[in-house]
């Protein structure tokens, strides 16, 4: 049973099946991992129920976010063992009204984003923090692609598959997935490694991405894929080091 089955109507189930949506495209040969916005603003500073966590961090996904952190750590360990490049995204440590754009206009607590707690909260969660050879992308908008050098890095690495993790499923994850699809990457959303403050939004967006833009794949299947990868993938660890497969 898929995680979204309990929110679909029977009509929708029949329509999408009859229209042919949801076909699996599979993995490619050269993956990269993207960890979208897993910072303290989105999980809080301690695991606690979401209604408690959002009193301090308005964007927090609470305990479900911390559950996702644990699963992401498993994925990152496997990716590093396979020498797969890992990208992280987060917002800059300091925001202004200009760089924030419309974010503060759509939320009655938006001005909190300019307080020191929220700006410090853009630090990536330490339990899955970047290593020396990982790449951190700073972004102002939902997609990790928008206004960033991400595409040039993926081109250099000859990546054909993106393993997407992070938050929120309905927001920055989905925006990144749609842009990756638009650039013709094979896109894999690692099911246990994405999370959202809204349970219904999480389920519906997983369904919609699986139908049209990505494969939503269980973590165990992704770990198996990483374990079988060639260790000769082109992933230079420093300038001038690395060999093309």
DSSP string, the chain: --TTGGG--HHHHHHHHHTTTT------SSEEEEEE--BHHHH-SS---HHHHHHH-TT--HHHHHHHHHHHHHHHHHHHHTT-EEEEEE--SS--HHHHTTGGGG-TTGGGGGSHHHHHTTSBPGGG---TT-EEEE-SSSSSSTTSSHHHHHHHHT--EEEEEEE-IIIIIHHHHHHHHHTT-EEEEEEEEEE-S-HHHHHHHHHHHHHHT-EEE-HHHHHHHHHTS-TT----SSTT-----
CA distance 85 to 133: 8
Distance of CA 185 to the CA centre of its chain: 15
CA distance 56 to 113: 11
For residue 115, pLDDT beyond 90 = no
CATH pick for 28-227 out of 3.40.50.850, 3.30.70.100, 3.40.50.2000, 3.40.50.300: 3.40.50.850
Q: Which residue has the tokens 């050879």?
A: 133
Return the pLDDT at 105: 77
β-strands 135-138, 161-167 pairing? unpaired
For residue 10, pLDDT beyond 50 = yes
Return the pLDDT at 130: 98
Tell me which of 192 and 106 has the higher pLDDT: 192
For residue 28, pLDDT beyond 60 = yes
User: Mean pLDDT of all residues in the chain?
Assistant: 92
Return the pLDDT at 119: 75
Q: What is the pLDDT of residues 56-113, one digit of tens each?
A: 999 999 999 999 999 999 999 999 999 999 999 999 877 776 777 777 778 878 888 8
Query: Cβ(215)–Cβ(189) under 8 Å?
Result: yes
Confidence of residue 163 (pLDDT cuts 50, 70, 90): very high
Q: For residue 47, give both structure tokens.
A: 């695991």
DSSP string, 159-226: --EEEEEEE-IIIIIHHHHHHHHHTT-EEEEEEEEEE-S-HHHHHHHHHHHHHHT-EEE-HHHHHHHH
Residue 162 pairs in a beta bridge with: 32, 187
For residue 127, pLDDT beyond 70 = yes
Closest-CA residue to 84 (of 241, 203, 229, 240):
229
Domain ranges of the chain: 28-227
CA distance 82 to 117: 36
Q: Per-residue pLDDT averaged across 130-149, rounded? A: 97
């Amino acid at each position: 049973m898929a995680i979204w089955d309990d929110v679909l109507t029977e009509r929708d189930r029949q329509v999408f099946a009859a229209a042919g949506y949801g076909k699996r495209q599979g993995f490619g040969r050269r993956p990269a991992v993207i960890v979208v916005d897993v910072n303290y603003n989105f999980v809080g500073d301690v695991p606690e129920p979401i209604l408690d966590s959002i009193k301090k961090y308005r964007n927090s996904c609470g305990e479900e976010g911390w559950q996702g952190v644990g699963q992401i750590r498993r994925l990152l360990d496997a990716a590093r063992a396979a020498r797969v490049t890992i990208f992280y995204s987060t917002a800059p440590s300091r925001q202004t009204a200009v760089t924030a754009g419309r974010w503060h206009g759509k939320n009655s607590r938006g001005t909190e984003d300019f307080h020191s707690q929220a700006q410090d909260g853009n630090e990536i969660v330490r339990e899955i923090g970047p290593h020396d050879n990982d790449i951190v992308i700073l972004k102002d908008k939902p997609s990790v692609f928008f206004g960033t050098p991400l595409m040039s890095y993926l081109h250099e690495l000859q990546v054909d598959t993106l393993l997407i993790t992070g938050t929120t499923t309905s927001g920055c994850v989905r925006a990144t997935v749609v842009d990756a699809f638009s650039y013709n990457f094979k896109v894999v959303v690692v099911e246990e490694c994405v999370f959202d403050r809204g349970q219904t939004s999480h389920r519906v967006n997983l369904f919609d991405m699986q139908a049209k833009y990505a494969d939503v794949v269980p973590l165990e299947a992704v770990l198996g894929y990483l374990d079988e990868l060639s260790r000769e993938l082109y992933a230079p660890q420093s300038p001038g080091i690395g060999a093309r497969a």
